[in-house]
Amino acid sequence: MAAIEYTSYKEMALEKMHEIRASIFAKYDLTCMHVYHSLGSVSAGEICLFVFTSSKHRKMAIEACSELVELIKAELPVWGREIFEDDGYIWKTNQ
């Protein structure tokens, strides 16, 4: 794979991200959370998703981060098209 091209409906994705963010803050006693998901073409090996959580206790931050990533993969309306060296492609499915 050479790259993944990410697309989304930005307004819909931002609205859903706010819902996901609120649900994680409601469930975990976090002090901070940051999420960045790339859009456009991301070359193989580059960062496409950055998630940061912090809390008073490490275990809570790790659990919140893990759940957050799974919710993003399952619910965030961002689609990825895997582009191969020969310019062929397939649409990525989250598992």
**DSSP assignment, residue 28?**
S
pTM of structure: 0.87
CATH topology classification for 3-91: Aldehyde Oxidoreductase; domain 3 (3.90.1170)
The phi-psi region of residue 54 (left if phi > 0; otherwise alpha if psi is between -120 and 50; otherwise beta) is: beta
Q: How far is CA 27 from the centre of its chain?
A: 19
Tens of pLDDT, residue by residue, the chain (95 residues):
899 999 999 999 999 999 999 999 999 999 999 999 999 999 999 999 999 999 999 999 999 999 999 999 999 999 999 999 998 999 988 66
Q: Look at residue 95 in the predicted model and tell me its pLDDT.
A: 60
Q: Look at residue 52 in the predicted model and tell me its pLDDT.
A: 97
DSSP 60-91: HHHHHHHHHHHHHHHHS-EEEEEE-TTS-EEE
- What's the rounded Cα separation, in Å, for the pair 23 and 27? 6
